[in-house]
């Protein structure tokens, strides 16, 4: 993202042009999605929190990605393992982008392999109409009962 589009997105309270477009699209569809309204704790040698981009009223969590780094992929695999009941889905600028230069694997193939749903540029209508249960929490804690204490 160039500096001009980043500044324009920041003026509207978002971090990228894709987030701005998704927010506008969701509003046009009459969906009252919340933006960065939740934190999800996860563990990676230390406790961390992840703030999803959008949470739909049906509980689906939307993460928008232009660039999908190896760090992002690793984080989402750990979050999925630690919070299997969460429904996290991706909206990419282009799911056909390669994971890295010279790679045959794409963002889409990674999602297919790891069991994540994804779409390009918008949240598809079927996702908006899916039945689900709202997540009324501001913080989803790390499942501490999985920690083995000595």
The predicted model gives 102-120 an average pLDDT of 97
Does a structural domain hold residue 2? no
Quote the CA–CA distance of 1 and 4 in Å, as a whole number. Answer: 8
Does a structural domain hold residue 10? no
CA distances from 106 to 68, 96, 144 (A): 10, 5, 34
E-strand ranges in 2-105 read 34-35, 39-43, 47-50, 54-55, 61-65, 88-92
For the chain, how many structural domains are there in total? 1
What is the CATH number for 85? 3.40.91.30
Does a structural domain hold residue 17? no
- Model pLDDT, residue 142: 82
The predicted model gives 41-69 an average pLDDT of 94
Radius of gyration of the chain (CA): 16
Cα angle 23, 52, 110; round to 5 = 100
Cα angle 143, 71, 90; round to 5 = 75
Q: What are phi and psi of 48, to 5 degrees?
A: -135, 170
Tokens of 17: 């042009």
Q: pLDDT band for position 89 (50/70/90)?
A: very high
pLDDT above 60 (res 90) = yes
pTM greater than 0.75: yes
The domain in which residue 89 lies consists of 33-146
The predicted model gives 57-81 an average pLDDT of 97
Does a structural domain hold residue 14? no
pLDDT-above-70 percentage for the chain: 94
Cα angle 131, 79, 74; round to 5 = 125
Q: 143, 47 in Cβ contact below 8 A? A: no
Does a structural domain hold residue 64? yes
The predicted model gives 65-73 an average pLDDT of 97
The predicted model gives 89-116 an average pLDDT of 97
Q: pLDDT band for position 148 (50/70/90)?
A: very low
Length of the chain: 150
The DSSP bridge partners found for residue 48 are: 42
The predicted model gives 46-55 an average pLDDT of 94
pLDDT above 60 (res 126) = yes
């Amino acid at each position: 993202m160039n500096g001009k589009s980043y500044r324009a997105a920041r003026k509207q309270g978002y971090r990228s042009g894709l987030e701005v477009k998704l927010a506008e699209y969701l509003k046009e569809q009459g969906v009252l999605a919340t933006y960065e309204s939740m934190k999800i704790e996860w563990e990676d040698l230390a406790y961390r929190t992840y703030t999803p981009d959008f949470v739909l009223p049906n509980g689906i969590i939307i993460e928008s990605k232009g660039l999908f780094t190896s760090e992002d992929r690793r984080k989402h695999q750990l979050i999925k393992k630690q919070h299997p009941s969460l429904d996290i889905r991706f909206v990419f600028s282009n799911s056909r982008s390669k994971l890295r230069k010279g790679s045959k694997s794409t963002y889409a193939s990674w999602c297919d392999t790891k069991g994540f749903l994804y779409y390009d540029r918008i949240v598809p209508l079927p996702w908006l109409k899916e039945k689900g249960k709202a997540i009324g929490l501001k913080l989803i804690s790390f499942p501490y009962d999985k920690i083995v204490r000595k």
